A and B are shown apart, each in its own frame.
Chain A
Amino acid sequence: MTDLHWRSATELAELLDRKKVSAVELAQALIERADEVDGPLHAYLHRTDERLLDEARASDERRAAGATRSSFDGVPTAHKDLFVTKGVPTTSGSRILEGWVPTYDGTLVERCTAAGLPLQGKLNMDEFAMGSSTESSGYGPSRNPWNTKTVPGGSSGGSAALVAAGGTPWSWGTDTGGSVRQPASLCGLVGVKPTYGRVSRYGVIAFASSLDQPGPLTRTVTDAAAFLQIAGGHDPMDSTSVPQPVPDFLGTIADGIEGMRIGVVKEFEEAEGTDPGVKSRVGEAYQRLEKLGAELVEVSLPSFEFGISAYYLVAPAECSSNLARYDAVRYGLRVDGADVVSMTSRTRAEGFGDEVKRRIMLGTYALSAGYYDAYYGKAQRVRTLTIRDLERTFAEVDLIATPTSPSTAFELGAKTADPLSMYLNDVFTVPVNLAGNAAISVPCGTSPDDGLPVGLQLIAKALDEATMFRAAYAFEQDLGWAGSDEGRPSL
């Protein structure tokens, strides 16, 4: 079967079920595809071809015995390299974890295995998920299959690049300030930031604990909903996990959006710095939602202007503490020194990249005695304001629509010298992480300016991913871009 690698996970599940293809054939097709595309893209940090084939064989045996683990048994996946995977090197994109082979599986990895998904490998990312371009990876940047001179976004850039290039039907990333939605937008994919606590963080290498949330990157809305269904749900190993069952998203996904109230944020539309091409595509997307029966309502989020500032205090503060454990004592890189202090200092100096060091310093400063109230304390108050703003808005509307990213994919090196311009990539996505709500980025075609993909963000109430999937699905089906030739990069 040709073009197997372009099929969605849902289609592949059906082909496997109807015995049109075997899991081993599928695995082989994806290995061939990886050989083709990974040279220019550098999406992988570690391929597990042998394990993939072994697990595919086991899946075929289960299917033959009528004992499949789920309807997706045999559909492969690859994870962002911060999902702790037993026996597979896991680096979080950092040199400081080079050589560490975990002794345990995180909950998400466990659930994917329990669903019978063979593992293709681990994917590139910004170091410790700090970045919006994958350029801060300790192992070199990934590239965007739509134009390999440009970045795939980040921090889940390896995941986005591989899914967009047909290297895997779906992949898990994590979203702390936009790290799933922004690369989805830049690579023409669907990317979901579920409600904080919907997906377990046990076994996710922490960047900023109160903001981190795993999310799927897929080529279709249906696949994203299905993937969240597989890996989401309460986990007793994560105290911040929501103790509620995951609703049956697929059961309501095609219900349409007739009568849905969708808010368009005044401050977002007026914000400077959004590309005209992005503005025009997203504007068309709003009209399409209206055409499909939704009512557009102008809403206001006055706390929006403080979002990035608050985020860049909370996230570095938490990361300064989370990353303290990389001290060369127990695992990962060790640069010897005269004593334990110099060993730890030298290892951290060599093992961490500039962006990570910058954020550790920012966070250490923000938490210091005498500065805590002015920085971390104030940032937490902005968080509370953001939550209230969104609560107030969601009393009037079912969803909020915004651009996902103010720009399309930019060229490598374009923003590395100016961290602030890089940080502003997250301006529309960050408030969602601060508040803990769910959001999705869904493609709305390519920019008339550069021909690169543009994403529409739909923000939902906490735990109301179902409404978000319904609207995204209706929009995707009507646009007809995903799955068409137009929606595929010609790498």
Chain B
Amino acid sequence: MSTTTDELFETTCGLEIHVELATASKMFCGCKVDFGGEPNTRTCPVCLGLPGSLPVANEKAIEYTIKIGLALNCKIAEQSLFHRKNYFYPDMPKNYQISQYDLPLCYSGHVDISGEWGTTTVGITRVHLEEDTGKSIHVGGSGRIHDSAYSLEDFNRAGTPLVEIVSEPDIHSAEEARAFVSDLRTLLDGLGVSDVRMEEGSLRVDANISVRRKGETEHGTKVEVKNMNSVRSVGRALEHEERRQRAALEAGEILVQETRHFDEKAGTTSSGRTKEGSSDYRYFPEPDLVPFEPGTEWIERVASTLGETPIERRERFATEHGLGAKDIEVLTASKATADWFEAAAAAYGGDAKKIANWIMADLYGLVNEASIELADSKIAPQQLAGLVKLVDAESISGKQAKTVLAEMFATGKNADAIAKEKGLEQLSDTGALETVVDEVIAENADAADKVRSGNLGTIGFLVGQVMKKTRGQANPGMVNDLLRRKLT
């Protein structure tokens, strides 16, 4: 069925992404930016919106926003200002949000995303700066405000600098949307401007998605999908929504413009409130702040701190390190991972692909099992390099190295220390091996004779016997050499 519908329908999707900036202090006051903590402990008259308090803009947040804009190939406004967006909500202390309206800090950008479908250029409509709200905890009922007994308000998050990135409706599948969010996450992480933790809400994705029959000129009915708490759930939610809308259109149903919430467990979206046209936020210029001009000098200074983009880094991993597509995808998933890999490769000094193989084949299994990030593991990049060097020097076997790596992962000790502790090193010691080889020759006289008479194929059997006797700890290359020397 999906092939038929693929031919019949097309999807249009635009994303609105909110990113909490990791500045030291809040957008308009000196309170610390952090996650969680005792409710209402990181507040002051300004972020509580007490009567008489006034905002003062955080310059670092403006700088971070410019940085994001530049990385998304945006134009930076010559003059920008803040507007008030007026609406009532109990977790918004002033009942207006200081945001931006017709003069966003960054606009008209674009970013390329690639995948199995090819490459898509997604336009960036705007990148603007605003303040985050507090958090409501609705007690009783379903946990939504409508049927709760009462609500508690925590203003620790209120006033955290929040960047809104709005894409053009250039996305045409759930997979493209997933790739866009994943790439953007990597990009923001690389810029060092946000924690980009979707599960903590420091990166939040809303999607506007509509489906229409191919050939139609009008867009389909737009549905806003919220509550997607991971890159994966962006893909799942939009796939579901795409299917739902197609099925509705096929059944001749009329879709309504509405907001739908994604249910992580069920993998489906459900209707929230119906959007009756657009709300009137009564935007007007924030009179408590003055318009500002970033200026060429500032913009150039920010541009000089941009460094390598994730796309550039990926290309370099292919050309400089000779890595394949799968390796690159995994090793550049976050800046920290890519940095870790490059530090290990540098410490190793040899073929970086070997380091990549160790990470991909062995270390990642351990990391995933422990559900941590590579960079947060106990192994330092230099230690992995040390392990690979031991293998290169044939001090330990490849199989032993896997055991050593698991021990390193558990304890953070160096490879050579573990090898010594476990008595692994002696098995590369010719004297010790020679004794075992002699024993095997004595116990397998027939096979030994065959080798002596020129049947070299049988040598493999003898190597196997040595390995068995040493419980796999002998260096197979050395065993082979010893047998050949003794029997030919």
Q: Please give the residue numbers on chain A whose beta carbons come within 8 Å of chain B beta carbons, in ascending order.
A: 82-84, 90, 92, 97, 100, 102-104, 106, 201-206, 208-210, 236-240, 317-318, 320-321, 324-325, 327, 329-331, 339-341, 344, 364, 367-369, 372, 376
Contacts and interface: CB of A to CB of B under 8 A. Distances in A.
Contact of A84 (B51, B88, B95, B284): B51
B96 A324 contact: yes
A327 B90 contact: yes
Interface of B: 45, 48-57, 84, 86, 88, 90, 93-96, 145-146, 151, 153, 280, 282-284, 287-290
A103 B48 CA distance: 11
B145 A340 contact: yes
12 contacts: A82-B52, A206-B288, A208-B287, A239-B290, A240-B288, A320-B282, A329-B90, A329-B153, A330-B48, A331-B51, A367-B283, A369-B282
Top 10 closest pairs, chain A to chain B, by CB: A324-B95, A367-B282, A209-B287, A210-B287, A84-B52, A203-B52, A205-B51, A369-B280, A325-B94, A329-B90
A208 B280 CA distance: 21
B151 A330 contact: no
B90 A340 contact: yes
User: Which interface residue of B56, B90, B96, B287 has the most chain A CB atoms within 10 A?
Assistant: B287
B51 A97 contact: yes
B interface SS class: loop
Contacts of A210: 287
A305 B48 CA distance: 40
Contacts of A238: 54, 56
A100 B153 CA distance: 19
A485 B381 CA distance: 89
Given A97-B51, A239-B290, A321-B284, A327 B56 contact: no
Contact of B282 (A325, A331, A364): A364
Contact of B88 (A83, A320, A324, A331): A324
A104 B55 CA distance: 15
Contacts of A341: 88
Contacts of A206: 51-52, 288
B55 A239 contact: yes
A interface SS class: loop
Given A324-B96, A367-B283, A367-B284, 6 more contacts: A84-B50, A103-B45, A237-B54, A239-B54, A331-B51, A367-B86
Contact of B52 (A106, A318, A320, A367): A106
A104 B50 contact: yes
Contacts of A320: 86, 282
Contacts of B48: 330
B51 A202 contact: no
A320 B95 CA distance: 11
Contacts of B284: 317-318, 321, 367, 372, 376
B282 A368 contact: yes
A258 B145 CA distance: 70
Nearest to A380: B285
A239 B90 CA distance: 26
A90 B153 CA distance: 24
B83 to A, nearest CB: 10
A462 to B, nearest CB: 15
B292 to A, nearest CB: 10
Given A97-B51, A205-B51, A340-B145, A327 B280 contact: no
A90 to B, nearest CB: 7
A237 B288 CA distance: 11
Contacts of B51: 84, 90, 92, 97, 100, 102, 205-206, 325, 331
A209 B288 contact: yes
A307 to B, nearest CB: 18
Contacts of B56: 236-239
B27 to A, nearest CB: 13
Nearest to A208: B287
A201 B86 CA distance: 22
A327 B48 CA distance: 13
B87 to A, nearest CB: 9
A367 B85 CA distance: 11
A102 B50 contact: yes
Contact of A325 (B93, B287, B289): B93
B287 A324 contact: no
A339 B284 CA distance: 29
A321 B84 contact: yes
B145 to A, nearest CB: 7
User: Which interface residue of A104, A205, A239 has the most chain B CB atoms within 10 A?
Assistant: A239
A368 B281 CA distance: 8
Contacts of A372: 282-284
A320 B467 CA distance: 85
A82 B50 CA distance: 12
A317 B83 CA distance: 13
A86 to B, nearest CB: 10
Contact of B287 (A203, A318, A329): A318
